[in-house]
Amino acid sequence: MNKDIFPIGAILLQGNDLPKNDRWLPCDGQNLSKAEYAELFDIIGNRYGEDKQKGTFRIPDYRGEFLRGAKAGTNLETLGPGLFEDCSTKKPNGTSFSANIPHLPTSDKGTHGVTKGDNIGYNDNTKTIEQNTCTKGGDKETRPINVYVNYYIKART
């Protein structure tokens, strides 16, 4: 008994490349004919874009994207299924932080100054530093540890 358990419009995460076929298509934003893929169009419509002159609609482009569960009755502020949200990085709370600076030079001549903050004394390398700005380092994006997968959409039975 051969049952097709995935409905049209289902998204599949795959750890490898599927053989090319017209049932499972890569989520790469390609345009499809509304007539040829009528069942899929009935489900996702123009949510991801369309070309009215050509009679096509666009499937999702999830390349390089992290997917997030939709609100679905929670108290989270999220967008609806299929909608994109821009990236953001939460601003740190507070105006100061405590840091251990083990490589700070020490001497018997007194303290060493820190711009816009408290002085850091010799033989003591843990102090509160206030209102400093990070000007170097970091990455071009904020991302969790991740594994790459391919996203496919069920286009036909």
SS3 of 103-133:
CCCCCCCCCECCCCCCCECCCCCEEEEECCC
Give the pLDDT score at 1.
42
- Which range has the worst mean pLDDT, 23-27, 38-42, 103-107? 103-107
Give the pLDDT score at 146.
81
Give the pLDDT score at 65.
83
Tokens 């108290």: give the residue.
75
Percentage of the chain surpassing pLDDT 70? 52
Q: Give residue 97's pLDDT band: very low, low, confident or very high (50, 70, 90).
A: low
Q: Over the chain, what is the mean pLDDT?
A: 76
Tokens of 76: 């989270």
Bridge partners, residue 16, by sequence: none
For 92, phi then psi, to 5°, come to: -60, 145
Give the pLDDT score at 31.
97
Q: pLDDT by residue (tens digit) across 72-92?
A: 666 656 556 666 666 666 665
Does the predicted TM-score (pTM) go above 0.95?
no
What the chain holds in terms of domains, given with CATH numbers, is 1-66+148-157 (3.90.1340.10)
